[in-house]
Structure 1
Amino acid sequence: MDALPPPPWPAHAPKKRMFERAGDQESPPGSGSVGLDLIGALPDAVLCTIISLLPTKDGARTQAVDRQWRPLWRSAPLNLVADRDLSGNKRKRVAYVSKILAKHPGPALRLDLPSIHQSLYGKVNRWLRSQALTDLQELHLDYDGEEYMIFPLPLSALRFAPTLGVASFSCCSFPDLSTQFLNFPHLKQLSMYMVTISDLSAPSLHFPLLKQLTMRGVTISGEALHSMLSRCLSLESLLLDFNIGIARICISSPTLRSISFPGTFFFKELVIEDTPCLERLLPPTPDHCMGTVRVIRAPKLQVFGLVSKGISKLHIGTTVFQEMIAISVTTTMRTVKVLVIESVGPNLDAVIGFLKCFPCLERLYVIVSNSYLLARTNELRSTYLPPQRQIEV
C-alpha cells in the first residue's frame, strides 16, 4: 500500500493555547482538582448573558458559586418569572418578587407574573414601577380569571411600551387611552386572552413592527379591531378565537401571511379584501361559523380550509358556493396547493365542484363530519346486528 502523503502543516507543532498547556499540567496531589474552570474563565459579559437565560431561582443562586460570581447576578439583565419554580407557596413567591426587585438594580430582560390574584393589584402596580424593570423587553401579565372576572390593566404596565419586544395580557381591560398616543415601536409578538379593548382605547394603540397577533376571548368591536389592524404595519400572523363583539371582519394587509380561526367564532361576514402576501387561510371550525366568507384578492394563497356547510356562502373571486354546493364557477385559484373540506356524507358533487375552482391542488383532505359518522353507524347497527345486540350511541 502506498505511503500516506506528508501533512500540509509544518513539521513542528504549533504552540498550544494557554488553556491547553495549563490543562496538561498535573494537579497538585490531594487537591481534588480535575481541570480548569473554563466557565469561570469566560468574560463577565458572557457570564451575565448565561445568568439571564437561567430560571430566576438558579440565576440568583449563582451568587453562591464563587466570590467572583457574587456581583454578576446584579449586573446581568433581570429574568424574573414568578411561577411555581420560584416557590410552591404563593405567599413566599410574592415575598421573593418584592425582595428581588428591591435588590436588583436593573435593567430587566423578562417579567412573567402568572395567575395573579385580584388582591395583589396594588402590589403589582408597585412592582411595575420598580427601577429594576428599566428597559424591560418581555412582559407577561396574567390575572387569575376566577369566574371570568376582568381587572383593569395597571397604567404602570404601559410605561414599558417603548422597549417591549414580546407581551401577553390575560383577564384584564385596557384603560381609556383616548387622550394619548401609545406607540410600541419594538413589539413583535402580542397575545391577549380574555382582554377587553374599548373603542376609545383601540385607536391609540400603534404596533409598527408587530409580526404575530393572537386574540382569544377578547371583547372588542369590529370597528376597534379594524382600527388596531390598520396600525399593525408589519403583521404576518393573525389568530382570532372566541372573540366577542365582532359581527363583520374586513381584512386588508400588505404583509399578512397567515389568518386562522382555530376554534369558536361567530360572525356575519369575513372579507379578505386585499392580502397580496397571504399564504394560509383557516376559517372557523364548521360547528361555529354561520356567516359568509369572501376572498376577493389573495394571489399567493396556498393553504385553504377547513371549508364546510357551516359557511353559509363562500365567495372566491366571482365563484360562489352555497353550503358546499357550487352555484357558479368562474374563478380559479391556481396557487392553492392544500385544500381541507368537510363533508356531511359521500357527496361527490361537492368535492368535484371544489376541484374545479382549485385545479392545481397537490393535497386534498376530506373530513367526514361526526354527525354523519354517528348516523351511519346507527344505520349499520340497526341493519346488521340482531336486536338483542344493538348498542345505543
Structure 2
Amino acid sequence: MEVAPVPGGGAGEEDGGGADRISNLPDDNLRHIISLLPTKEAARTRILASRWRPLWCSAPLNLDCRDLTADNAAYAGMVATMLSSHRGPVRRFCIDANLLADPPGATDAWFRSTAFDNLEELEFSSNQHSPPAMSIFRFSPTLRAVTVEKTVLADAVFHGLHFPVLKHLGLSEVAISEMSLHSLIAGCSALEHLLISNCMGLNCVRINSLSLVSVGARLTGLRRPMCPLLLGKIVVENAPRLERLLLLNSGTRLHVTVVSAPKLETLGYLNDEHYYSGFSRLVFGSTVIQGLRIVDEQLVTVVRTVKTLSLNMDTLSLDRVIQLMRCFPSLEKLYIRLPKSGPSNLWRRKHRDLIKCLDIRLKTIVLGSYLGNKTQLNFATFFVLNARVLESMTLEYYADSRLDDKEFLSKQFRDLQLDNRASRGAKFYLTTNISIRNHWEFMHVRDLDLADPFACE
C-alpha cells in the first residue's frame, strides 16, 4: 500500500515549513483553539512559533487535575500553582477532591477565585460523605456541562438554584433526594442530556422537562449503609423533546412508565434478565412490557415514534421480538446482543399467516455474539426472507478464528439463504469487530449525545 506524503504548510516560518496561515488569526481565535486542547497539549503550543508563546498564559484553561500524579499533600499545591501562574480564565475544571488532604477548604478557595468566574464545564468527584463546598454552585449562571460523582447533595443546596445554560448533567453514585433532583431538573431550562448512574436517596424519578433530548439511567444494585434507598422507578410525565431513553440497568430491576414523550425515537437496553426482585418493566399507555414479554397482547398501545431499539436477550426468542415489532411498528434499526441458547425459533408454519400481514420496516439489523447455531440461524433467516426493505444485516461473529475459513463463510451465507432474500439490495456482513455498544460503556453524560448510541463506528 502506498502512502501519499503529507503536504507541508502551517508549521511556521521558524522551521521553514512554509506559510503559517493559522498564526495569522486574531489572538482571541488562537486562544479559543488552545482552550479546546487538553492541558498538556495546550501548553506545548508555545513551541510552535514565537506568535504562540504568550497566548498560552492568557488562553482559557482546560484543566483536568485527575491526570496529575502526586501524593495528597502535594496535590493541592500543584493545582494552586497552576491556577496562580495562569492569567487566563478557567473554562473546564476536573477535580478528584478525594486526593486532597482538606477537600472542602482547598476547593472552596479555588472556586472563589476570579479565574473561575465564567466556568463552563465542571467535573467534581469525592468520596466524602458530606456536601461539597457551597462556592461550587456560584457558577450556575455559566455552566454548560456538569458531572458530579461520589458525593452528597443536600436539599438546602437547590432551593431557588438555576442553571440557565446547562445542557449536560451527569450524576454518578450521588446521594440526593427526589425533591432535590426534581428541583434541579426544573432549574435547568436548557438541559438536553441527563445521566443518572447508581444514585442513592431516590425511589422514583419524575421527568418533566421541555428541553431534555436524552435520558440515561443506570441501576446495578449497589447499596451503601449511609443511603440504602436506590432508584426503582422512572416516570416520564412530560418530555416533548425527548428522543432517546437508555436504560443502563444491570443486576436489579427498574420500572419505567412513559406518559408523554411524543418524539421518542431511540429505546434501549431492554432485557429479559430475571433479577432477585423480578423483571424490569416498561409501560407505554396500556402496553406493559415485562422483561421482553408483552403482558397482554390485547391491550397494546402502538408507539409509532420508536425507530431504533436495542435488546439484551437472555433467551433468544423470535416470538418476543415479533411482539415488540407490533408494539413499535415503525422500527427501522434493531440491535440485539444474542445469547448462546434459546428455543428453536422455527417459524415457517407457526407464523405462516402472520408473514402475510406483518409489515417489517427494518432497514438495519445488528446481531452481536453470533455463533451460527440453530436457534440463531433460524432467527436471522426470518428477517433475511421477510424484511423487504432491509438495507444491511451485520453478524458480529463470536469465534473470530473461523472467519479466515472460506468454506465456513460460504456455508454460513448459504445457510442464511441469501439467494432468496426478500430485499434484493440488502448487504450482509460477517465481522469480528464489536458492532454493538454495551450498556456499561456509557460512563459520561456526553455518551448520550449520539444520534445512534448503540452503533460502534
Q: Which bracket does the TM-score occupy, shorter chain normalised? A: 0.5 to 0.7
Contact 2:272 2:315 in 1 (8 A): no
| 1:385 match | none
What's the Cα RMSD here?
3.9
1:50 aligns with 2:39: no
- 1:12-56 CA-partner distances (Å, limit 9, x unpaired): xxxxxxxx9xx9xxx9xxx98565554444322222122222322
2:200 aligns with: 219
CA distance in 2, matches of 1:371, 1:120: 54
Q: Does 2:157 correspond to 1:165?
A: no
SS at match of 2:101: helix
Match of 1:235 in 2: 212
Instruction: Tell me the amino acid that sits aligned with residue 83 of structure 2.
Output: L
Structure ranking higher in strand proportion: 1
Contact 2:282 2:290 in 1 (8 A): no
Residue 100 of structure 1 and its aligned partner are, at CA, apart by 1.8
1:293 is the counterpart of 2:274: no
In 2 relative to 1, CA 63–131 (structure 1 residues): closer, same or farther, beyond 3 Å?
farther
Change (3 A) 1:119 1:151: farther
3-state DSSP class of the match of 1:274? coil
Residue number in structure 2 paired with 1:11 = none
Matches of 1:353 and 1:83 in 2, distance apart? Answer: 47
Change (3 A) 1:271 1:100: same
Indicate how the Cα distance of structure 1 residues 269 and 107 shifts in structure 2: closer, same or farther if over 3 A, else same.
same
CA offset digits 1:215-250 (Å, max 9, x no partner): 111114245x32xx33x3300100000175334322
- Partner SS for 2:56: helix
Q: 1:248 aligns with which of 223, 233, 246?
A: 233
Which stretch shifts more, 70-79 or 247-256?
70-79
Separation in 1 of the partners of 2:336 and 2:26? 58
Checking the alignment, whether the CA contact within 8 Å between 1:239 and 1:260 is kept in structure 2 is yes
Give, as a single letter, the amino acid of the residue that structure 1 aligns with 2:85. K
Partner-residue secondary structure (3-state), 1:51: helix
Counterpart Cα distance in 2 of 1:70 and 1:356: 63
Q: For 1:36 and 1:368, locate their aligned partners in 2 and report how far apart those are by CA, in whole Å.
A: 55
Distance (Å, rounded) in 2 between the aligned partners of 1:353 and 1:286: 14
Q: What does residue 181 of structure 1 align with?
A: 160
CA contact (8 A) 1:106 1:131 kept: no
In the TM superposition, what is the alpha-carbon distance from 1:258 to its structure 2 partner?
Answer: 1.0
Q: Give percent identity, aligned residues only.
A: 30
Tell me if 1:123 matches 2:121: no
Identify if the C-alpha distance between structure 1 residues 68 and 240 changes in structure 2 by more than 3 Å, giving closer, same or farther: same
* TM-score between both structures, scaled by the size of structure 2: 0.59
* 2:271 is equivalent to residue 271 of structure 1: no
Out of 40-49 and 158-167, give the one that drifted further.
40-49
Deviation of 1:133 after TM superposition, in Å, equals 1.2
Q: CA deviation at 1:112?
A: 1.4
User: Structure 1's 132 and 332: CA in aligned 2 closer, same or farther, altered over 3 A?
Assistant: closer
Task: Tell me if structure 2 keeps the 8 A contact 1:106–1:133.
Answer: no
Rg: which structure is higher?
A: 1
Report what 2:55 is aligned to: 72
Stretches of structure 2 that go unaligned for 5 or more consecutive residues are 1-8, 221-228, 344-370, 375-457
How far apart are the structure 2 equivalents of 1:73 and 1:137?
19
- Are the structure 2 counterparts of residues 251 and 265 from structure 1 closer, same or farther at C-alpha, using a change threshold of 3 Å? farther
Task: State the Cα distance separating 1:344 from its structure 2 match.
Answer: 6.6
**TM-score of the superposed pair, with normalisation by structure 1:** 0.67
- Say whether the 8 Å CA contact 2:264–2:305 is kept in structure 1: no
The higher-RCO structure (CA 8 Å, 6+ apart) is 2
Is contact 1:138-1:166 (8 Å) kept? yes
Matching residue within 248, 269, 293 for 1:262: 248
Q: How does 1:131-150 map to 2 (within 5 A)?
A: 131-143=114-126, 145=127, 150=129
| 8 Å Cα contact 2:235-2:257 kept in structure 1 | yes
Report the alpha carbon displacement of residue 177 of structure 1 after superposing the two structures with TM. Answer: 2.1
Q: Find 1:102's aligned residue among 69, 84, 107.
A: 84
Aligned AA for 2:230? G
Name the CA distance, whole Å, in 2 between partners of 1:343 and 1:204. 36
Q: 2:352 matched to which residue of 1?
A: none
Q: CA–CA distance in 2 between the matches of 1:278 and 1:371?
A: 32
